[in-house]
Amino acid sequence: MLTLVKCHIKVMGSQAIKAIKNKKQRKQFIHHVLKDLEALEIMINDDAFEKGTQRIGAEQELCLVDNYYRPSFNALKILDKINDPHFTTELGLFNIEANLDPLVLNGKCFSKLEEDLYGLIEKAHLSAEAIEKNKVILAGILPTFKRKDLVFKNMTPHKRYKVLNDVMKSIRGRDFRVQVKGVDELILDHESILFEACNTSFQVHLQINLEDIVDQYNWSQAIAGPILAVMTNSPLLLGRELWSETRIALFQQSIDLRNKSHLLREQKPRVSFGNDWFKDSILDLFTDDVARYTPLVTSEFENDSLSDLKNGIKPKLKALNLHNGTLYKWNRVCYGVHKNVAHLRIENRYIPAGPSIKDEIANAMFWVGVMLGMPDDCRSIWKRMGFKDAKGNFIKAARTGMDTYFNWFDKGISAKQLAKDFLLPTARKGLLKANVDIDDIDFYLNIIKKRIDKNISGSKWLVRSSRKLQEKISREESNILLAYHLHKNQQENLPVYQWELAKPFEKSDVFSKNKIYKVMSTEIFTVNENDSTRLVKNIMKWKNIHHLPVINNENNLVGVIASGRLSQENLDEDTSIKDIMVKEIKTAYPEMRIDEAKDMMLQYKIGCLPVLDHGELVGIVTTTDLEKLNLS
């Protein structure tokens, strides 16, 4: 029977792990990995896997927010309140995970999956509400994340997470870097792997027979881009509009261990789409991972896989699973054992959380259906499609979602046309073959069709709503409203094609009251400390502004210049701004109280406060901004 044994180390449960620090530990671990591979090869040759029954399973990652829709760090308290083994921790204290019971793939299994998921999320909602009125939200990336939320202290305080962070940072040799360019651009360095925890997914598992696993895994790779295109839900990170599914870029970069100063085997990122098709045995996939990636962590091993096999016990392949748990593939083959019956399954890890429960079940059915409906002429797919076409399609889908144009078996086709003309009929055929209930098929696949017809996905809803909101309110307030409306629509369990765009409204208890982010200007003009007073005078005149932050060549804030200083008589217009700027700068932060900022400006007799978030200049507030609220 399919059991959701964790395939990734960040949620390995109680398994004790430790960093590999010396040759002895490495040698011992590799010994067990090789034993596991020998045992797996014997099982493959003996066809020692469950067959004839297919099951589906799922893992739901959830975002926790406070009463103002900002990240909450109460995961441990909420899990204690829930008190249900279906739930477990995640890497960040602002996430929890719910593991659904596997279901046999037939009949009304998808309706049952929705019912089970709704029940678990409702239990999480009630428990979160009891802890400081917290809430649970489905979001690929929570819109209200700020950089200060993603620091080491907000990592779940379990040893396995700290070990993984320390090992990865040690190999990296320096801080991790994220650089993603979409409509906006985000470039930042960060101290830990916690940025990975921004990503929230709905991971779906499909049990596969051994004789089909190679072709089915290759097929899962081929369809990944077209499937992802119609279900993207993560376009925003730290207020920037990036990829349609920013999770794809963020996950790879947030734990990228490659370091040019070290000549390691680590030439491929540990988060990847893969390297090529697999043509002979699924064993090749596991041996390829051992050959390419150095082991990071180890554990205590009581049993020998080969000995277990000789004694009639299906081995857990603990070392091999542990190694694979430090690799993060968007489609991953998983091995599991339940009641001494082994099985293989494919785990889809690119489906984002949200926008609604119904959307998630529709996404799961769509993927499972297309998998089951694989055409016979797509076996040995390497004869018809280049692997780089599949990989390129996946990256393009992550960037542009439903607007993507694919290279599909050497023909160009839009994401929407491919979904309507081929993928939806293929899914329907595969689901009928598996005896899935016809009413379920019609209902959930219609959700996918309606998204395409109405040109709406979670990403498109978020982007359109964000742009509309920012015509009237600040980016910070817009992000809170997006989270509010996500929660509201999810509570009503409406699929995203039925959602209206988010609108501003007069409901003050939704927002943190009287905070700087409500009034600060986020479109900031800056000047370099070496710019001339003549240039700065003109910038102020052109843009009708009276205060400008001054930065150095490293983009650090070093001063402020006011228009009054530029009106001095006998001022040489070629003088550098650094010679006359105010260098003793008073600054604010986004959640500073407005009355506190006002008092500071009065006390120091200054007309503006640059606003910094984690050392980054994110806005500026002036006396004019305060006058708008009659507070100056």
pLDDT higher than 70, residue 181: yes
Rounded-to-5 percentages of helix, strand, coil across the chain = 45, 20, 35
Distances (CA, A) of 219 to 377, 381, 500, 546: 11, 7, 36, 60
Q: Which pLDDT band holds residue 21 (cuts at 50, 70, 90)?
A: confident
Q: Cα(462)–Cα(489) distance, rounded to whole angstroms?
A: 13
513 pLDDT band, cuts 50/70/90, is low
Q: What's the DSSP call for residue 376? A: G
The structure tokens listed for 385 are 């499609």
| pLDDT digit string, tens, across residues 80-128 | 999 999 999 998 999 999 999 999 999 999 999 999 999 999 999 999 9
Q: What is the pLDDT of residue 70?
A: 93
Do 231 and 352 touch, CB atoms closer than 8 A?
yes
Separation of alpha carbons 455 and 334, rounded Å: 35
> How much is the pTM?
0.87
Q: Given this model, what pLDDT does residue 344 score?
A: 96
* 41 φ, ψ (degrees, to nearest 5): -65, -40
Under 8 Å between Cβ of 308 and 314 = yes
- Measure the CA angle with vertex 208, ends 408 and 255; round to 5°: 70
Helix 109-130 / helix 357-372 crossing angle, nearest 10 deg = 150
State percent of the chain over pLDDT 90. 65
pLDDT-wise least confident of 173-182, 205-214, 347-356, 415-424: 173-182
pLDDT tens digit sequence for 301-330: 888 899 999 999 999 999 999 998 888 889
317: left (phi over 0), alpha (psi -120 to 50) or beta: left
Please report the pLDDT score of residue 586 as a whole number: 93
* pLDDT tens figures, 450-479: 999 999 999 999 999 999 998 888 888 899
* 219 vs 534, more confident: 219
With contact defined as beta carbons under 8 Å apart, do 357 and 489 qualify?
no
Using 50, 70 and 90 to split pLDDT, how confident is the model at 509?
low
**Residue scoring higher pLDDT (618 or 568):** 618
- Pull the structure tokens for residue 440: 């379920």
Mean pLDDT (whole number) for 572-597: 89
**For residue 465, what is the DSSP state?**
H
Take residue 230 and report the two structure tokens written for it. 């119609």
Please tell me the predicted confidence (pLDDT) of residue 192: 66
- Give the pLDDT mean for 506-528: 75
Model pLDDT, residue 176: 66
Q: What angle do CA 115, 459, 512 make, to 5 degrees?
A: 85
143 vs 153: CA distance, rounded Å: 21
- Residue 222 near residue 382 (C-beta atoms within 8 A): no
What pLDDT band is residue 445 in, cutting at 50, 70 and 90? very high
When mean pLDDT is compared over 70-74, 326-330, 628-632, the highest value belongs to 70-74
Query: Averaged over 479-503, what is the pLDDT?
Result: 96
pLDDT at residue 255, as a whole number: 54
pLDDT over 80 (residue 588):
yes
Q: Which H or E run includes 410?
A: none
**Look-up of token digits 């797919």:** 381
pLDDT in tens, 10-19: 333 335 788 8
Cα–Cα nearest to 437, from 177, 185, 110, 124: 110
CATH classification of 517-627, choosing from 2.60.120.10, 3.40.50.150, 3.10.580.10, 3.40.50.300?
Answer: 3.10.580.10
DSSP string, 249-280: HHHHHHT----TTS--S--S-SEES-SS---S
Across-strand partners of 548? Answer: 561
CATH of domain 9-454: 3.30.590.20
Calculate the average pLDDT of the chain.
Answer: 89
Per-residue pLDDT, 150: 84
What is the per-residue pLDDT across 333-359, written as a single tens digit (0 to 9) for each? 999 999 999 999 999 999 999 999 999
Tell me if residue 70 falls in helix, strand or coil.
Answer: coil
Concatenating the DSSP letter of every residue in 116-184 gives HHHHHHHHHHHHHHHTTT-EEE--SS-TT--GGGSSGGGB---HHHHHHHHHHHHHH-S-EEEEEESSS
Q: Higher confidence at residue 602 or residue 3?
A: 602
Is the Cβ–Cβ distance between 325 and 296 less than 8 Å?
A: no
Compute the distance between CA of residue 404 and CA of residue 226 in angstroms, rounded to an integer: 9
pLDDT of 8 over the 50 cut: no
Among residues 177, 192, 15, the alpha carbon closest in space to that of 89 is found at 15
Q: Cα 151 vs. chain centroid, distance in angstroms?
A: 16
Choice between 158 and 389, residue whose per-residue pLDDT is larger: 389
- Token look-up 């099951």 returns 55
Collect all residues with Cβ–Cβ distance below 8 Å to 309 and sequence separation of at least 6: 39, 42, 43, 315
pLDDT at 515: 81
- Flag whether pLDDT at 506 surpasses 70: no
Q: Rounded to whole angstroms, how far apart are CA atoms 602 and 623?
A: 10
Q: Give me the helix-helix angle, 438-454 and 109-130, nearest 10°.
A: 70
Report cis status (omega within 30 of 0) of the bond before 157: no
Q: 3-class DSSP state for residue 357?
A: helix
8 or 275, which is more confident? 275
What average pLDDT score do residues 386-402 get? 97
Mean pLDDT within 30-53: 94
Contact at 8 Å (CB) between 607 and 562? yes
Q: Radius of gyration (Cα) for the chain, nearest Å?
A: 27
Q: What b-and-e string marks burial along 383-398, b requiring 16 or more CB atoms within 10 Å of the CB?
A: eebebebbbebbbbbb
**Domain boundary assignment for the chain:** 9-454, 517-627
pLDDT band at 169 (very low <50, low <70, confident <90, very high): low
pLDDT at 7: 41
Whether the predicted pLDDT of 158 surpasses 50: yes
| Cβ atoms within 10 Å of 464's Cβ, excluding its own | 14
